[in-house]
Amino acid sequence: MSAEAMTLFSPELAARFDALVERYPARRSALIPMLLYAQDEVGYLSDAVIDEIARRIGITPLDVRNVATYYSMLRFKPAGKYNVQVCTNISCMLRGGYKIFERFQERLGIGHKGVTADGLFSLEEVECIGACCWAPAIQVNYDFHDELTDEQVDAILADYRSHEQKAGSR
Amino acid sequence: MADVTFTVDGKKLTAPAGMLLIDACRKVGIEIPAFCYYPGLSLQAACRMCVVRQEKVPKLQTACTTTVAEGQVFVTESPEIAQARKATLQLLLGNHPLDCPVCDAGGECELQDMTFKYGAGESLYAEAKQHREEQKWSPVVYFDRPRCILCYRCVRMCGEGMDVWALGIQNRGVLAVIAPNGGDHLDCEQCGMCIDVCPVGALTSGTYRYKSRPWEMKHVSTVCTHCADGCKVTLGVRRASDGMEIVRADNRDKSGINGDFLCAKGRFGFDFVHGRDRLTKPLVRNAAGVLEPTTWDKAIRLVAQKFSEANGSVGVLGSPRLTNEEGYLLQKFARTILRTQHIDHERTADYPTFSRMLAEVPDRAAGHREIAAAPAILVLGGNPTEEHPLLAWSLRTNHRLNHARIYLANTRPIRLARQAAQSLRIADYDALARYLAGDDAALGSVAGAADFREAIAGEQSLVVIAGAEYRGASLAALLRWGLGRPGVKFALLSDFANARGVADMGVYPDLLPGYQTLTDSPALLAEYAAMPTESGLDFAAMVQAATSAQLKALYVVGTDPVSTLGLADGALRKTFVVVEDCFLTPTAAQADVVLPAASLYEKSGTVTNCYGDVQMVRKAADVAGVKPDFEILVRLAGAMGVDVRTLVPFGAATGVRADMGQTRGAQAGEADRHAVWLVANGLEPKLSPFDPLATLDEIERLVPGYSLDRINLFAGNDAPTQPAAGPNAGPNAGPGSGFVPLESLLRRSDGVTPTHASLFHSAGLSDQTQVLQELQAYQNRLNPAAAAD
């Protein structure tokens, strides 16, 4: 059976990887984008994901881990469906980033890198997310919420919960 | 590259442009410290120890990445540089444990040396050290994380050097850590190269850890006893209750043909020497039919009496692990004292055909150093990675550093293909030889064959390495093709430490030393008076004859025909069997007399690797009760009433009879230059009949091709040999005379049975070496599929 036939990924992503490894002079240049896309689809970099990426590029799983462990935005454990990343770098810190982070901790009952029991939310304290002009800012998956106050935290969480309920009832 | 001139510490230096500053300095004796730099591996510039001041450059530069150019001015030692290095050490020591008193590396640790030199004795860091427990990554590799200084040497050695890529580096910053490929264990070749290159004690050896300190051992350079590559190995020995005990094997001074390299067998496979089952007393079968311990005197007297009574009806089986001197002496003993031609050894390559043909054209045999530097290498058959780890290492290194082109042809996929310029999958080695020689139809339709042959035809200088698959007619065809072209050299692979040497020494039923004939070799015939001139029985025929009582006695030296030929229990009981071995092998269990022999690590002499390089073997270990085969042979001859002087040319003509310690006790690895010079020039008296060097003199005199570069040999280097014709090839004789005619060589059975050594298997020894057994079981557990093959 070919590697493609045993893939963990959706046909679209598999096709994207096939194109990606051919795009660069060296196949392993495709490694970091592949890790990001795989994490977006699967949720985290499982052993199976790492093995398949290694196979697709033609390097060892150890090589993949060497690179992946360097980057804090790549994870090896599942995150919540909504991964809340709170910036506490200088601009956000000065404008109340830590207050927001504390509020999230309180409301979700989890700490840094924690996941709620229902698997819906996870929380991370992160470095600069490039939204200093609108500090303090957070990022939930790929959505930004900026110029926040700690009062808005409940509304943000409620919004995602109701979105989830709607999606569930459909 | 053109030479450039530059200034270092006020001295004018000259070096090729583009050379690394650190190398250029080291060549002239200016030592620049470095942890991460390792010659031959990629550059890391991670440790910042090699910083130097370059004129007109604002910041300190790393000497390991600075290439020299015309007119540069460097300073390598100044208060500023010392301060920079001290700061680097302070950083490294920030989390380095102070366990030097129990660390294996203590005494030979680069970090310790540097701290001693630059004096970062006090730490400015107040943070607590991050302690981590040591991890066992495999039976032979242990990792002590806090000791690691993240120089990446192990990662690069494993990847670039070994092409195994089993080590990586994970996380970053203070959390960065060396990681093995199995998560918490290593799945690799277990070569231990990572341990060897580790500048500190982060990676330690399972066989050596916590056993000794470097200064408690004597370090004796000798040659590894396992495969036929002939790696120089330094054995660390220490006094034990029953002699000298080997506690460590490594390649301490890296001066051998193996350079940096040593494989799992060489590095870890020495515990057989002190194995529980080691024989230490002669055994004689008593009236009740049981082997019973006895004294050497009684055993020798019994064997001598039986050999005398046999009156020529004796078979002699030799081991390809004997030294050259022992091999030579064994055949001389058989031919001139036992008066038999029934002598043979366990053959693993067809060296008679090889040497016979190469002797006709000068300088066509490739030594290992030539292979390691050849621009193009054709490897036919074999599997170097598994069977000849040093060859595989040299080919990889040559490919990596010199862009050597490697061409492979094999019936199965082999690991070396990753470095190969072209690989050919074939079904038939004979056909390949014919195809190379121009028979287009020989290979049928093998994909890529035409390109392969064309690429090889385009090589101006080529080394052909033939596996033991090539023998007899197919080897002759291959050699004929190559000898017909200029610039082609050959090597033939075999399986035991001295397979080539024992063959060269004439341990054959139909060939004298140097592959000379039994009838047409005047120089040897003059010395071997009363030698029978009829060819004797070969290995299998001799064992067959012994089982049917057609031989009165069988003398088995370091080999195990019962196992290799699959004989039944008691098959050899009809004849008088003497076995000389380290262990009670199945053959020894059937013997009438068993003599406990010294292993290669407990004797001195020379061995020849499969590439024809002769190296010194030095006595390292000492096991009470055993004797080297050389000494046993001399004692047997003495007990048979022979003047041993006719066997070993020792003593002056006036007859000096004292043994003045020439039997070579354990000696330091460092060369005694005075002694080396005396020995090399033949000025050292051989006062003892047990001195193998006396026989080496005779070998040099009588064995064609063995005119050795003695000063190099005795200084611990390799001395290359070339197959050569016998001394009776006078000025009018044709090339190759004094040799058996090729036709008759090809008519006879070559008797070659390769043992298929592997990374942890070494015929006859690995069963007795616990660590190799353990490694094999460990790797089998990790890779059940490979184990099933």
Pair B199, B327 in one domain: no
What residues contact B406, with CB distance under 8 A and at least 6 apart?
B376, B377, B379, B395, B399, B416, B419, B420, B421
Rounded alpha-carbon distances, angstroms, from residue B365 to B517, B716, B720: 21, 22, 9
Nearest residue, CB atoms, A62 vs list B171, B172, B181: B181
- Which CATH number do you get for residue B566? 3.40.50.740
Measured CA to CA, the distance from residue B186 to residue B154 in angstroms comes to 13
| Domain-embedded: residue B745 | no
Which residue segment(s) compose the domain that B25 sits in? 3-77
| Domain-embedded: residue B537 | yes
Where does the pLDDT of residue B693 fall: very low under 50, low under 70, confident under 90, or very high at 90 and above?
confident
% chain A with pLDDT above 70: 95
Strand order in the sheet with B218-223: B218-223, B232-240, B243-250, B622-623
**For residue B666, is pLDDT > 50?**
no
**Chain A residues close to B167, C-beta within 8 Å:** 62
- Which CATH number do you get for residue B197? 3.30.70.20
> How many C-beta atoms surround the C-beta of residue B568 within 10 A?
9
Residue range A55-84, pLDDT digits in tens: 999 999 999 999 999 998 899 999 999 999
Residue range B381-413, pLDDT digits in tens: 999 999 999 999 999 999 999 999 999 999 999
**For residue B553, is pLDDT > 80?**
yes
Size of interface A-B (CB pairs under 8 A): 25
**Chain A residues close to B169, C-beta within 8 Å:** 66
Rounded alpha-carbon distances, angstroms, from residue B778 to B138, B140, B173, B190, B275: 8, 10, 33, 10, 20
Query: What is residue B662's predicted lDDT score, i.e. its pLDDT?
Result: 41
| Domain-embedded: residue B130 | yes
- Contact assignment for B179 to A62 by CB distance below 8 Å: yes
Query: What is residue B659's predicted lDDT score, i.e. its pLDDT?
Result: 39
Place of tokens 């959706």: A10
Measured CA to CA, the distance from residue B154 to residue B164 in angstroms comes to 11
Pair B702, B571 in one domain: yes
Distance from CA of B166 to the nearest CA of A (A): 7
Measured CA to CA, the distance from residue B139 to residue B554 in angstroms comes to 41
Residue B681's φ and ψ, nearest 5 degrees, are: -95, 15
Most confident option among B130-134, B524-528, B541-545: B541-545
Q: Which of B665, B659, B666, B660 is nearest to B644 (CA)?
A: B659
Where does the pLDDT of residue B652 fall: very low under 50, low under 70, confident under 90, or very high at 90 and above?
low
- Contact assignment for B171 to A70 by CB distance below 8 Å: yes
Measured CA to CA, the distance from residue B759 to residue B324 in angstroms comes to 25
Query: What is residue B279's predicted lDDT score, i.e. its pLDDT?
Result: 96
User: What's the distance, CA B47 to chain centroid?
Assistant: 34
- Reduced to 3 states, what is the DSSP secondary structure of residue B136? strand
Residue range A87-129, pLDDT digits in tens: 999 999 999 999 999 999 999 999 999 999 999 999 999 999 9
**Chain A residues close to B180, C-beta within 8 Å:** 62
Pair B28, B14 in one domain: yes
Pair B463, B535 in one domain: no
- Contact assignment for A66 to B169 by CB distance below 8 Å: yes
Last residue of a domain, one of B493, B516, B533: B493
Nearest residue, CB atoms, B165 vs list A63, A69, A70: A63
**Chain A residues close to B181, C-beta within 8 Å:** 60-62
For chain B, the C-alpha Rg in angstroms (whole number) is: 28
Token digits for B743? 């036709």
| Domain-embedded: residue B731 | no
Angle of CA points B130, B135, B138, to nearest 5°:
160
Any CB–CB contact under 8 A between B169 and chain A? Answer: yes
The DSSP bridge pattern shows strands B376-380 and B462-466 to be parallel
Pair B323, B366 in one domain: no
B69-78, B684-693, B746-755, range with the lowest pLDDT: B684-693
Give which of A50, A62, A75 to mutate to test B binding, by max B Cβ within 10 Å.
A62
Pair B155, B28 in one domain: no
A161-170, B441-450, B751-760, range with the lowest pLDDT: A161-170
Any CB–CB contact under 8 A between B172 and chain A? Answer: yes
**For residue B77, is pLDDT > 70?**
yes
Measured CA to CA, the distance from residue B179 to residue B185 in angstroms comes to 9
> How many C-beta atoms surround the C-beta of residue A25 within 10 A?
5
pTM metric for this prediction:
0.92
| Domain-embedded: residue B534 | yes
- Contact assignment for B168 to A70 by CB distance below 8 Å: no
**For residue B681, is pLDDT > 80?**
no
Pair B672, B529 in one domain: yes
- Contact assignment for A62 to B171 by CB distance below 8 Å: no
Average pLDDT rounded to a whole number, residues B626-637? 96
**For residue A145, is pLDDT > 90?**
yes
Query: What is residue B661's predicted lDDT score, i.e. its pLDDT?
Result: 42
| Domain-embedded: residue B762 | no
Where does the pLDDT of residue B649 fall: very low under 50, low under 70, confident under 90, or very high at 90 and above?
confident
Last residue of a domain, one of B432, B464, B493: B493
**Chain B residues close to A70, C-beta within 8 Å:** 170-172
Query: What is residue B743's predicted lDDT score, i.e. its pLDDT?
Result: 81
Residue range B750-783, pLDDT digits in tens: 889 888 789 999 988 999 999 999 999 999 999 9
Pair B526, B640 in one domain: yes
Nearest residue, CB atoms, B171 vs list A62, A63, A69: A69
Indicate the number of domains in chain B: 4
Q: Which of B291, B347, B357, B354 is nearest to B319 (CA)?
A: B347
**Chain A interface residues facing chain B, Cβ-Cβ under 8 Å?**
60-63, 65-66, 69-70
Pair B43, B120 in one domain: no
Last residue of a domain, one of B672, B706, B724: B724
- Reduced to 3 states, what is the DSSP secondary structure of residue B661? coil
Measured CA to CA, the distance from residue B5 to residue A162 in angstroms comes to 76
Query: What is residue B253's predicted lDDT score, i.e. its pLDDT?
Result: 84
**B186: nearest CA in chain A?**
A62
Query: What is residue B354's predicted lDDT score, i.e. its pLDDT?
Result: 95
**Chain A residues close to B179, C-beta within 8 Å:** 62, 65-66
Pair B661, B570 in one domain: yes
**Chain B residues close to A61, C-beta within 8 Å:** 181
**Chain B residues close to A66, C-beta within 8 Å:** 168-170, 179
Query: What is residue B121's predicted lDDT score, i.e. its pLDDT?
Result: 79
| Domain-embedded: residue B85 | no
ipTM field: 0.84
Give which of A69, A73, A76 to mutate to test B binding, by max B Cβ within 10 Å.
A69
Bond preceding residue B692 cis, omega within 30 of 0: no
- Contact assignment for B165 to A70 by CB distance below 8 Å: no
Pair B521, B559 in one domain: yes
- Which CATH number do you get for residue B384? 3.40.228.10
CATH numbers and ranges of domains, chain A: 4-68 (1.10.10), 82-169 (3.40.30.10)
Pair B485, B519 in one domain: no
